[in-house]
Every structure is written in structure tokens, then in C-alpha cells.
A and B are shown apart, each in its own frame.
Chain A
């Protein structure tokens, strides 16, 4: 039973307090997308043995969705971060590379990403 720290309320929450939401940072494909794109968006998941980015909701807590970077083999948690970002934050990338120096992100980790929700979403 995992423990993950909610980046919104700071509580180290037990898995029973959380709702899992599958792989994080999926790009949504809607009307106008090809069958292949839509199929990949809807069904194809990486399911890696190793570094994985996933969505969790602090369902029996503050109710916020957040992301966790986790190793599915060792269960190491590299960090949790707010959901309002299209890809993992530089801090998370650094935490992963601290353990796995050879690991390279398949997204542009240097690009500026919002580290908190834009005004209007959080209180």
C-alpha cells in the first residue's frame, strides 16, 4: 500500500485515501484526429517496468488531482507535483536522474511549465 504526498495539502496520504487515474500527461485527441491517433490516446499505455508518471486524486482528502513520478519496479517515489503541467517538472526530472543517471525524458524538460494552476482554478 503506497503512500504519496499530496502536493496541494501536503498530507502523506495512504493509497486508500487516493483514487488512481492511470498514466499522466496524455495528450487528448478529439474530433478531427485520425483513427490511429485516437486509438493511441484512448488505449495505448506505456506500462513500463521502471519510471512511470501517473495521475492520482486525493479523493478522501482535498479532492485535488496530482501527478506522481514513481518506479513501478522498486516502488520508489521520485516526487509528486501538481496536475497543471503538460509534462513533468524539472525538479522531478532531476530526482529521477539522481537515481538513474542514464534516464532521459522523451519530452522537452527545459521548456517552461506552469508550476501551479493558473489564476482561477485554485482558491
Chain B
């Protein structure tokens, strides 16, 4: 017996199996528990009452609860990639070999230097950080914040990747019952008898809830229900499964523990169920509330129900001389359980003036002292309870008696667990008689049919006794006690904890009220009440009751803070599941992707694609590679994998009319065999995409979009076709991935393609802005004579599965021409040298074509196109709009991207006024000097003016306004 700890009782322990001993480590010390223990019960059995320190004052803390609501007993579990901070000892099943560590204490749990904060508590009231670190302002960033950041946070974040696997699964279920206590079991049975598909999910590894512990024949009642449920084929029972949130239309998120802390099981650690529930029965029980007396946070003070659980479920005595303090009958059950376990109960302190119900009577009959009208004035002891000071509840704390004790069981009443009910809009009513918020069945969360998608059962519904199911006898009424004793002094309130984890006390909430924080949501944020990892499960009602009293208003007038999912923390692993690493987002790869990889290309993400940015050779830097690629293209010939360009077929009798609406320019007049560059705007008038359209036949156009814009533009077209002009006869198809496309670019581009043979690509047969269909190197191809580089350029489109073949043949045939593969950066620089705009560089969602000097691409003949009306608005025609110009750096430095040109004067915030900004900026290898483009107020009328661009601590950049076309202004090279 002593092997599993000095505080293990000789008998009892409903959930443990003493035959299986499990060794584990806590802060380096070897300990032993037994199968069925939680970490908390095993630590308590070993006499380890203190399990952590609080967040702000580093106060010594032991567990106050036995379940998911625990705010204190948070441990770091595991090692390496499996390390997890802030794990609740009360809900973590003990596993042999477990390595655990306390948190928020240095150098050790017993001697924590941070506890100096505890002596300074008068100087750390609510809002301390807001009030203290205001001035001088630079101190915040450089002095205060780094110190606070280092000391903030409970557990340490793991530093290694999580090696475990997680999975997600979907289920569609008629009725999901959340909570495997007697109310949940009964609800599941009833739904099962109705023939519905039923899931029952229980957060702990055991069904039954509190009933077996609290009621004489509870276990047999539970067993009978389980036996019937297990015989129903339409009922699924899942234990260790936590419903964490209920969302719109019956979407219930449920986390099932499969192999938590058992990494050798060979199965996923957790499974996240995404359930569509026809109806959810919330049978989540109730949580006991602490009492606010001075010293209520000393290790050894715990909830009465928790003490009962440790005795009954785990055969553990957290103490041997117990004081029970209560305002209700239920806590008397703890006195009886302690007596049955052979423990000494020093006294029951009851704030009520009379206690004459059946349970108090049973306690008196066992010869116990019951002190009515009494209260706790204070706790003697720091690391553990040593004695309890008793006073009259109606007074201000005059100590009448001090009794030796090592454990205090407190009960301030119970609060239904209404989280799931409230997550999606279910409303609550305050019950004065029961002193609690309970679900209002007339205001439920509603589903897609407009009817209730959830209902509550048992204690969660406000039926705390569930007498019909448990057979419990009626209890006498509780008396609301929010501060103990009723007229406690200010000094005592400094020691009355409401939120144990975040160290929020009665004095803090009263201070917040005094300082004008009247809304419960504001008080919460100011004091951090309920903002710890337990999300206020034990502190919320006590805190808002204290606030209500301070504001002198009834509790329902204060209301609750918003209940938000998840009910208990959800691991990021379960949320991510398989979507990590390479499966996080499937990459799109062109048919030539493998070739690029083999050549050592450096890739950049463009939409979901990966495109070669450049192809560095040997030890070449990216900048050197880009410059080499550009020189090779301008001197001879290069190839660009342009397969990612969006390709959309637009077909039908009304296709021309439709494209005239989509583009600012005229597409219906485009002759078959020709290409035309076009701009697409949204209804706001702003430029959203550009590209070249080719007319394939009388009723068919092929529209090229930007790489990132294909899906978006296809959606844009479909939107207008389906929702506005649904009588127009037009079909669209996104054929982007059907074609591989290679831009063959440079003065020797024609020579190279002619070597592959198959088509007449002469200037006469295929002039600039024409296209032709035929064969290249025996591959069926369309060749578009278009240029984004200013060079002679052919874009060759072939069926996707022949793309690599074409690419390799080009490189084979052009070896002596120094044919050079080039990447997106070379493409960008070359287009900037030519003054061509790039969607996303020169445009940012607020730029219209007129800003870019592209009025030539806007048809004057058309009565309408998407964006036309917007471009007539006064702001769009304002001559002061910033317009596109070239920028020439005066000192040879490349302008930084995105920098602003300053103007004279300051704005209302005292900042320098601005008059333009850089949109594209590069070092041009062709011109061997920096080039840039930018948008500048009245820019085109200010050629030759010099602008100033401040850039951090360096000297300002200066640049002259010039024409944006830096290279081959006549355009003769592309026309060759």
C-alpha cells in the first residue's frame, strides 16, 4: 500500500486497480501510482499536494478540482517533441513511465524566486501593467516589454515538431448526447429506443458522472442504463471524447483521445470528429463553485466534490483532518465520504443560520460538529493548510476559534455547464432560488430548420439533483455567499481568490468596478478574470456576483461573459491533422517542373504554383543568375515556362458581346488569328487582371489571365454569366492545366524554333500579335506571337503531356545558341525595362487603368463594360490621382520597393505628406543601372522633376521622374 504513496487509503477507489503499479517522475523525483489514477490523484497519494505556482504572484497551488475545470494543477508533460505545457493533472490519465514537471517556478517549485511578487501584491492590482508602464514611451519597447514577455506565460512552448499523428473524421448523426452521466445515459437510451442514430460522448474515460459517488445505488442505476445502451445497434458510446464546441447548423466538434501519452500504441494520438448533428443533448452536468474566503487558494483547500472524488474514485486522502465549509446541503456528502474512509472531519462550517436537511441530519448523527451561521476568517499556512480560523458569517471576521486542519472542502453551490448550449446562441435565465444561470428552453440555439438544435438534460438543464434519475432526496435551499464572511474587511478581500490561475481576487474586481468598469466584458479584460486556460470555469459566476454587488445591481443585470469554444483546449495537432508538411496545401506543378528541379532552379510561390525564380549555376548568387539570364535572352534566346498562365475558353454566339463587357477594350472586333492585350476591372473600376486574348474561331476566344488569376477570373466570368446575363449564350471552360506553354524569347527565337520545324514562323506568316496553329517538332501546337519582354517572342502551347518533350527539344536544338532557361525574376525585370505593368505590383486593388496611362486599352466606342460607370465617378476622374511614371535613381542606388515620395508639409498626424510611391524597382542588367516605376501625383506632367524618398536611417533616395519605358522605346525588337 505505501508503495503507491502515504496518502493512499487502505480501501476504496472505484476507478483504480491497485494490482497494477505505475512508476512516473515529477520534477525529477520517482513516484508510483496505480492503474486508473489521474496524475493528480497519483501525486496526492504521494503526498505531493503542491503542483504548481500561480501566474502573477507565483503562489503555491494544489488542485482545487478533480476534473476539466482545474485551474491550478497544470503540468508540463513528456519530453522533446512530445512535450506539452499546461496539461491538467486532474484529467490526465496516469501512464507508466510518464515524465512530468511543474511550471512557472524557478529554481524549484518549493523555492520560487518569482514568489517575491506575492509580497508585493499591494503593488500589483488589477490594471497594474496598463497603469505603470505608460511613460517614458520608449521604455515600454526596450525595457518593460522584454522583461514582461520573459516572465509571462505559464508553461513553456515545445521547441520540437510534434512526432505524433492525428486524424479527422466526419459523422452524420441524428442525436448526439454530450455527457455520459446519468442524465446523458438516460437521454441516449430514450433516443436509442426511438430508433435514431445516437452518439454518446463522455469527456472522461468512465461513464456515470457523479452519480456513483454521490448516490447510494448510483452505480447500479448507471450499469443498468449502460447494459441497455450497449445492446442497441443504433447507439455509439465514446469515452475520453470531449465535445469542444457547437457551431452553426448542428456542427459539433468532438475530440477523441485514442493514444494520448502512449506514443507506442501505433495509432493516431487523437481524432477530431466533425459531426453534423440533427440534435444535440447537452448533458454536461454542473461545476461546483469555490467560496471566497481569505486564504481560499492555499494548497489543501479544494472543492468539496473534488475531495469526495479523490476519496471515492481513487482511494486517496488529500488530508487527514478535514474542515468542510459550505452554503448548501450537498457538501455534507463530502463529510460523510470522509468519515466512511476513516478520515477525521474537524467540523462542518455552514454559512446558513440553520441546516436541518436530511444530509446535515445524517452528519450530526455521526457526532460531527456542525457550526451554522459560521464562516472561515482565514487559513493558517502557506504551502499547505495548517489551521482554519472560524468566525461568524454575519460579521467582519472576528476569529472565534482556530482549529487544526490540513484540508478544507469548500462548496459555494453549483453552476450548470451551459457552454455548448451558449456557443451558438442559446440563452440563459438567472434563478434566484438556485443561485445560478440555467438554460432557457424557450430561447434555444436554432438550426437550419429554425427549430432548437440543442436541448439540455439533468444538471446542465438546472435540475441539479436530477432526483428522478438518481433517487436523491430533496435538499434544503442554499444561501448565496459571494464573500465570506459577509462583511469581510478590505484586507481579507486581498486574500480571497476568484480566478486562481490568473490571480484575480475579490479586491481586484471591486477595484475595477470602482474605476468605472461596469460591463462584465470590460471587467474581465481589465482584471483578466476568466481569461486563463480554464476560461473561468470555477471563477466566472463568483466574479460577476462580486461585480454585481460592487455595482449594486442584480446578477442578471450584469450578465455573463460570452461562452466561446473550445470548452477545453484543443491541440493544434488535432486541428491540423493530416494537413501538415507537404499535405498542408497541394502544390501545382507544371509538366516541366521536374526538369527545373533537376537544373537546381530556385522556386518561388505564385498562387498555388511553384515557379522557377531563377536557375543559379554553380555558386552563383540569385542576383547574378537573374542578370545572366536576362543578358542571354537579350543577346540570343531564352525559354520561360509559361504553363501557369491562366487559359480560359469563352465560346458561344454571344461570346464577343460578353468579352466586350468583361474587358475595357474591344474583343468582339478581334479578327480570327489575332491576339489582343486586354484589361479586366471589377465593378468598382479597379484593375484586377490583364492578359492576351486570342480569337480562335468565329465564336471562340482563348483568354489568357495572370498565373494567380485563372480561377478568380473564371469565377468572375461565371458570376456575370449566371447571375446577370443568364440569357446570353456563352460557355466558359478553364483549360489552364490542359496546356503546357513555353515562351521562346530573344533575337534568335525564330531561328531556334525553325530548327524544330513544322511551321512557317516568318514575320510574314506570323506577324506580331498573331497566332497560328500547326506542329512544332512534331507536336501539335498553337504559337502566339506575343511579347512580355520586348524581344522577338513566340509562346508555344502544346498539350500538357508533351510539354516536357518540347522543352527538352528546344534545349537540345539550341545548345550552340546558348539557349538559357529563365525564371520569373528575369521576366519581371525585362517587363519593367519595357515599362509593362504587373498586376499586383503597379496595381493594389485601388488603381484604375487610367492611372497607368493605359487609356489606349479602353474602348471609347463601347457604351458599357464592367467598371466603366465607376471610372466616371468624381474621385476616379480627379486629376490629382497618382499616375504611372518611370523613376531614375540619382546616385546609382536601387530604390527600395514600396517607398514613398515625400511632399512639403505635414498631415493632421504630424507626418510628412506624400505624393507618390515606388511600385517596381530593379537593377537593370541590360542598361547596367537602376530602374523603377512608381505612381506619382501629376506624374506624367512632371518629367524631369526630382523626388525625395526617405528610407529609415539612411540618406534619402532621390529619383528623377522619367518615361516608364527604359528600353527599346520604338518597340522594334519585338516586331522583328
Contact = CB atoms under 8 A, between A and B. Distances in A.
Interface of A: 1-3, 15, 19, 21, 28-33, 35, 38, 42, 55, 57, 59, 63-65, 71, 74-77, 83-84, 99, 117-118, 120-121
B722 A64 contact: yes
The 5 A-B residue pairs with the shortest CB-CB distance in the complex, in nearest-first order: A76-B450, A120-B729, A84-B726, A74-B446, A65-B722
Interface of B: 247-249, 251, 276, 446-450, 652, 683-684, 715, 718-719, 721-724, 726-729, 863-864, 868-870, 872-874
The dominant DSSP class at the A interface is loop
A31 B864 contact: yes
B870 A1 contact: no
B723 A3 contact: no
Contacts of A19: 715
A33 B722 contact: no
Contact of A55 (B249, B448, B683, B723): B723
Contacts of A83: 722-723, 726
B715 A59 contact: yes
Given A42-B684, A121-B722, A35 B873 contact: yes
Contacts of A65: 718-719, 722-723
17 contacts: A2-B448, A19-B715, A21-B719, A30-B864, A31-B863, A31-B869, A32-B869, A33-B869, A38-B873, A42-B870, A55-B723, A71-B450, A76-B450, A77-B448, A120-B728, A121-B728, A121-B729
A34 to B, nearest CB: 10
A1 B868 contact: no
A84 B869 contact: no
Nearest to B170: A14
Contacts of A31: 863-864, 868-869, 872
Nearest to B653: A120
A57 to B, nearest CB: 7
B657 to A, nearest CB: 13
Contacts of A120: 652, 727-729
The dominant DSSP class at the B interface is loop
B721 A121 contact: yes
A50 to B, nearest CB: 12
B450 A99 contact: yes
Given A1-B249, A42-B684, A28 B724 contact: yes
A118 B727 CA distance: 6
Given A35-B873, A64-B722, A120-B729, A57 B715 contact: yes
B869 A75 contact: no
Nearest to A5: B448
B144 to A, nearest CB: 41
Nearest to B729: A120
Contacts of A2: 248-249, 448
Contacts of B724: 28
Contacts of A99: 450
Given A1-B248, A2-B249, A118 B869 contact: no
Nearest to B253: A1
Given A38-B869, A83-B723, A121-B728, 15 more contacts: A1-B249, A2-B248, A30-B869, A38-B870, A55-B723, A63-B718, A65-B718, A65-B722, A75-B448, A76-B446, A76-B448, A76-B449, A99-B450, A118-B727, A121-B727
Given A30-B868, A74-B450, A99-B450, A121 B726 contact: yes
A57 B683 contact: no
Nearest to B276: A3
Nearest to B447: A75
B418 to A, nearest CB: 19
Contacts of A38: 869-870, 873
Contacts of B715: 19, 57, 59
A112 to B, nearest CB: 15
Nearest to A118: B727
Contacts of A35: 873-874
Contacts of A71: 450
Contact of B448 (A3, A42, A64): A3
Contacts of B863: 31
A77 B249 CA distance: 10
A1 B248 CA distance: 5
A60 to B, nearest CB: 11
B726 A118 contact: yes
Contacts of B446: 74-76
A98 to B, nearest CB: 10
B181 to A, nearest CB: 28
Contact of B726 (A1, A29, A75, A117): A117
A3 B276 CA distance: 9
A3 B869 contact: no
B729 A84 contact: no
B578 to A, nearest CB: 16
Nearest to A99: B450
B869 A29 contact: yes
Contacts of B729: 120-121
- Interface-centre pick from A19, A30, A33, A117 (highest chain B CB count, 10 A): A30
A75 B249 contact: yes
A71 B446 CA distance: 10
Contacts of B869: 29-33, 38
Contacts of A118: 726-727
A38 B864 CA distance: 14
Contacts of B870: 38, 42
Contacts of B874: 35
Contacts of B728: 120-121
B248 A75 contact: yes
A57 B719 contact: yes
A70 to B, nearest CB: 9
A42 B683 contact: yes
Contacts of B721: 121
A22 to B, nearest CB: 11
A91 B86 CA distance: 54
A15 B249 CA distance: 10
A120 B727 CA distance: 7
A15 to B, nearest CB: 8
A121 B730 CA distance: 7
A88 to B, nearest CB: 14
Nearest to B721: A121
A76 B247 CA distance: 14
A17 to B, nearest CB: 13
Contacts of B868: 30-31
Contacts of A117: 722, 726
A3 B249 contact: yes
Contacts of A84: 722-723, 726
A31 B862 CA distance: 10
A3 B719 CA distance: 21
A29 B872 CA distance: 13
- Interface-centre pick from A19, A32, A64, A121 (highest chain B CB count, 10 A): A121
A37 B681 CA distance: 20
A100 B450 CA distance: 11
Contacts of B447: 75-76
A94 B108 CA distance: 70
B909 to A, nearest CB: 27
Contacts of B864: 30-31
Contacts of B723: 21, 55, 65, 83-84
Contacts of B718: 57, 63, 65
B923 to A, nearest CB: 41
Nearest to A24: B723
Nearest to A3: B249
Contacts of B722: 64-65, 83-84, 117, 121
Nearest to B872: A31
Contacts of B248: 1-2, 15, 75
A86 to B, nearest CB: 10
A59 B276 CA distance: 21
A38 B726 CA distance: 22
Contacts of A15: 248
Contacts of A42: 683-684, 870
A76 B683 CA distance: 31
Contacts of B683: 42
